[in-house]
Amino acid sequence: MSKPKITINQDKCIGCNTCPLVDPEVFALDQSTYKAIVKQQPPDGQIPPQTQTAIDSCPVQAIVVVEEP
Ligand code: SF4
């Protein structure tokens, strides 16, 4: 079964801080680069609603979910 993995395109991220505000469990803003990072992947192989909201809230679509085998 494939497992979703959240990645952040560092070139696209503009450091707007929206995703850490919407879902602080998963996202954080790296204080040295001012780009978002993934603190932890969803534990059960699913994207929780709050995390999906954060992904959808990104103004530049920098958050990408890839399926890992
Ligand atoms: S919402 Fe998008 S642009 Fe804003 S910090 Fe998160 S990844 Fe970066």
Q: Please report, for the domain that includes residue 29, its CATH number.
A: 3.30.70.20
Supply angle C-alpha 59, 24, 5, rounded to 5.
70
Minimal-distance CA residue to ligand 1 atom 4: 16
Would you say 28 and 37 are in contact if contact means Cβ atoms under 8 Å apart?
yes
Q: What tens digit of pLDDT does each residue of 5-60 get? A: 999 999 999 999 999 999 999 999 999 999 999 999 987 778 999 999 999 999 99
Residue 68 is predicted with a pLDDT of: 84
Would you say 25 and 40 are in contact if contact means Cβ atoms under 8 Å apart?
yes
pTM for this prediction: 0.93
CA–centroid distance, residue 29 to ligand 1 (Å): 9
CA–centroid distance, residue 17 to ligand 1 (Å): 6
Task: Tally the domains of the chain.
Answer: 1
Amino acid at site 11: D
**Which residue range(s) make up the domain with 28?**
3-68
Does residue 21 line the site of ligand 1, with CB under 6 A? Answer: no
CA separation for the pair 15, 48 (Å, rounded): 22
